Each structure stands twice: as structure tokens, then as C-alpha cells.
Amino acid sequence: MEKLIFEKSVVGRKAYTLPKIDVPLSEGIPNKFARKKDARLPETSEIEVARHFQHLAHQNFNIEKGMYPLGSCTMKYNPKINEKTAALPGFASSHPLTNDEFSQGSLQLMFELGEMLKEITGLQGVSLQPAAGSQGELTGIYMFRAYHQHRNDTARDTILVPDSSHGTNPASAAIAGYKVDTIKTNESGRIDIEHLKSRLGNHVAGFMITNPSTVGLFESQILKVRELINECGGLMYMDGANFNALLTLARPGDMGFDCVHINLHKTFSTPHGGGGPGSGPVCVSERLRDYLPVPQVRFEDNKYSLENDRPESIGRFHTFNGNFGVLVRAYTYMRMLGKTGMRAVSENAVINANYLFRKIDKYFDVPFDDHCMHEFIISGNRQKKQGANTKDIGKRLLDYGFHAPTVYFPITVPEAMLIEPTETENKQNLDEFADAMISIAKEVEENPELVKTAPHSTHLRRLDEAKAARMLNISWRNYKN
Ligand SMILES: *Cc1c(COP(=O)(O)O)cnc(C)c1O
């Protein structure tokens, strides 16, 4: 095994070059704060440091190593130019307390990004403040509540959520103080309209749907659903985290939604995973506009400014203007693509998923035999009976150089694998992934033990996943549990 940086340390070896001091030498650190013993830092040469970090990077899976078909997460390739613009000193070094007069460029970027998001969602208002998709959901549901309260319609205490929605949807509704009533979906993965009808009434504050749903299907009855919800006085929320399926093809505003959040860190190209930062802007219909968080970016008399004087606003959801660097990346991405480029994004996302689906569907169980959107579901039920389950298949994929798909989600499908190839993979990559899946299916038939004990080629084999998540230890020391 490769030696760790501390083990490579040799006293006296150096790898630093400090710039010449250009400020007066200070008195030094007050004695009571000064270190009594030297810090134990590794002493190595520059190349050893470079090798150390390369080595660590190689142990990890990432999109630049191979395809990352993690359903619902849109782990696509993010163009490097986005990083360049986000790092421009005018953006990156701008202090968030700088007054409007000296922040015109940043404000213009936020304003124009907001206008583009309104255009692609077909809605009338926007806030860039939420720092994640789930926070966008909470923002939206707070606005629903403000809307009903403002009309003195305060008996509405329930949000209806189909069972094909992302788990964050019922969680957000509950955190906002609502009861959650789960609406069933039918065998085609769409809303059970009769069940929905039986749950309607003037206790309904709104309906919250992930579209496309977590099984990768477009809700084809959405106009009917909208009609029913609006009839009973409820509002419509769409979880648009996976907007790469719809971009320029369909607009939530045209379907009658009052609020939609979009995950900039998925569709609009900010690398994510490992916890952020992200951005989940919300777009709203005319009737929710007054409740949007403050501040709002305003453009008047050729000047951009931050508007705080909005009496009906639900308030602030994040310090300053949210995660600004993510906004710069999204803006760059959209301006680079333009309308035709954005159309290619959604078309390729959908075509790639359908192509891959139909290449492997014969080898696995298929819960919904229908055209998918940007992702699709297969089940490892058949393989489980042969001796290796979905988890084992996910692990075995690592040996083939692919990241595992999303597994055991959505929970409505047993042994689920949710596969999202994304729009940035070409036909050769899709073919290679399909070949890997087919070959694993054959391995399960012939030698399930091989799959059950995978991965065989990675630095570490099977981790205790609960511990890895809850008791993460990233120290170089080899602690004994
Ligand atoms: C990722 C995702 C979310 C949550 O977004 P976060 O930014 O992780 O909070 C919500 N809904 C769907 C459909 C998603 O794919």
C-alpha cells in the first residue's frame, strides 16, 4: 500500500517557498499563545506532496474517472469554464456587505439569472436565496402558508404528496408544520386520480409533486391534478430538482404550478456531492410573488439594487444572497449554451436514458415498462433470487470502472436501481455501461459469489456504511475503532 504523507516524512526535508515579507515585522505572537513545542507536521519534498494528493484523488471515484449514473443526482460533467468565471476576482473577492453602487456586476448577474430561470419555468417571480433543493421546498411551503394566512384561510393544514415524490418533499411539508397526506400512484407510476379525489377538501393547503417523479416518469395527468387541486383552493408545488429532463421542452408555469424549485447544483452545473455548496432557487406564480424572501434584486433607472422593503415577504432564508459562486456557475452555463444548447441538454438527457434502458431491460426486472425521462428504474429482484442483490451489483460495477446507480430508492420498488446516465455521456460510454450491467447479470447467474464479494479492485472493499457516514474519520492516524 502507498505510504501516507506522515510516513514519508524525513526530518529536514522541505517543500515550501515563502514570498518576501512586505509588511513590518511584528513583535511576534504573545508568549501565552505561542507554541511551546514544534508542531508535528510532515516534512517532505514538493513532489511527495503532489504525489500524496494525486494518490488520494485516485482512490476516490469521480466524474473525471468514469460514468457516475447516480439516479436523481445528475452527476454530470461540469464545464471547466464555469469554475473560471466563478473565480474571477470581481466575483470571488467581492465582499457581501459591499453596497449596491459597487456591486452592480454581481447584482446584474443575479438579476439576469433570475430572469432566465423565470423564462425556463414559465413563472413570474424568483428568489435565488435557498442554498439547496430541500431549502427551496421549505421556502415554497412557507410561501403557501403566507398566501393562505393572508386570505384568512387558516384551516388548511395538509399538504398532499404522492408516494413517488422525493423524500425531501414530505419532510419539508412536515417541517413547515403541515400534515402530510400520501397520495397513491397506480401501476403505471402515475397519480391514482380516484385516490386523490377522495383526499380533497378545504383542509388542503397544497399539492407537492416531484416531476419527473422518482421513478423517472412524467406525470401525464398533471393538468387534471391541477384542476382538482385548484378547485378545492389548494396551491401547486413542483420539485424541479431534475430539470435536465424538461429544460426548454416543458414549463411548470404552463402546467399551472405556483412554485417550483430548481437545483442549480444538478441541472445547472455545479459539482456537488460531499455536502455542497448548492443552490435551490424558487420560481413562483403571480399570486405568490409578494411572499418571496427578501432581498429581491431590482432593476430601475438603469441601476441594480437590493430591495428589502417588502411587507408581505416571508423573510430571509439565507445570509446575504445565497451561495453566490453557484449562481455564477449557473449563469455561465446557461449563457454558454443558449436556448438551442439547453434544448440539446434535455433531449440528450432523455434520449440517453431511454437508449440505456432499452439496452439492459431484458436482463433485469422492469417495474414500469414505459418511456422514461432523464432516468429509469430497474429492479434486482431476479438477481436476488439467484444469490446476489442490488447492493452487490452496485459494488460489482466499481470493478468495471463505474460508480453505482442509486440503490434501494425509491422505496416503492423492491431492489430498486435508479439509473441516470446524464446528457454528458456519449454513445460509447453508454454501450460500455450497458455491457458491464449485462455481464454482471450473467455473473450472477453463473457465479453469484463473485458479485457478492465485490468490489475486488478498489482500495477499500466494503465499508461499514453507517459508520462511514456517521463516524467519518479522515485523519491519517490508524485509529483502532
Ligand atoms: C436532489 C433532490 C432534492 C434535494 O436537493 P438538495 O439540494 O440535496 O436539498 C429534492 N428533490 C429531488 C427530486 C432531488 O433529486
Burial label, 464 (beta-carbon count in 10 A; 0-12, 13-18, 19+): exposed
Count each helix (H run) and each strand (E run) in the chain, helices first.
15, 12
Q: What is the pTM of this model?
A: 0.91
pLDDT (average), residues 307-331:
96
Could you tell me if the CB of 134 is within 6 A of ligand 1?
yes
pLDDT of 481 > 60? The answer is: no
**The three grid cell numbers given for residue 153, joined into one nine-digit string:** 384561510
Q: Is 123 within 8 Å of 136 (Cβ atoms)?
A: no
What band does 171 get if pLDDT is binned at 50, 70 and 90? very high
Residue among 163, 263, 267, 375 to mutate when testing ligand 1 (max atoms within 8 A of CB): 263
What band does 207 get if pLDDT is binned at 50, 70 and 90? very high
Q: Write the pLDDT tens digit of every residue in 70-84.
A: 999 999 999 999 999
3-state helix, strand and coil shares in percent for the chain, rounded to the nearest 5: 40, 10, 50
Note the pLDDT of residue 1: 56
Could you tell me if the CB of 377 is within 6 A of ligand 1?
no
Could you tell me if the CB of 125 is within 6 A of ligand 1?
no
pLDDT (average), residues 154-181:
97
More confident site: 395 or 61: 395
Could you tell me if the CB of 242 is within 6 A of ligand 1?
yes
Could you tell me if the CB of 279 is within 6 A of ligand 1?
no
Could you tell me if the CB of 394 is within 6 A of ligand 1?
no
Note the pLDDT of residue 403: 96
Note the pLDDT of residue 238: 98
Note the pLDDT of residue 30: 86
Q: Write the pLDDT tens digit of every residue in 47-68.
A: 998 998 898 888 888 899 999 9
Map out the domains of the chain with their CATH numbers: 1-59 (no CATH), 83-336 (3.40.640.10), 346-468 (3.90.1150.10)
Q: Write the pLDDT tens digit of every residue in 226-266.
A: 999 999 999 999 999 999 999 999 999 999 999 999 999 99
Could you tell me if the CB of 72 is within 6 A of ligand 1?
yes
Report the SS3 class of residue 331: helix
Could you tell me if the CB of 421 is within 6 A of ligand 1?
no
pLDDT of 384 > 70? The answer is: yes
Per DSSP, 365 falls in state B
More confident site: 14 or 282: 282
Nearest CA to ligand 1 atom 2: 241
Residue among 73, 165, 166, 169 to mutate when testing ligand 1 (max atoms within 8 A of CB): 166
CA distances from 327 to 313, 363, 400, 458 (A): 22, 42, 35, 36
Q: Write the pLDDT tens digit of every residue in 355-370.
A: 999 999 999 999 999 9
Q: What length does the chain have?
A: 481
More confident site: 128 or 4: 128
CA distances from 466 to 295, 463, 469, 470 (A): 40, 9, 5, 6
Q: Is 143 within 8 Å of 284 (Cβ atoms)?
A: yes
Note the pLDDT of residue 476: 67
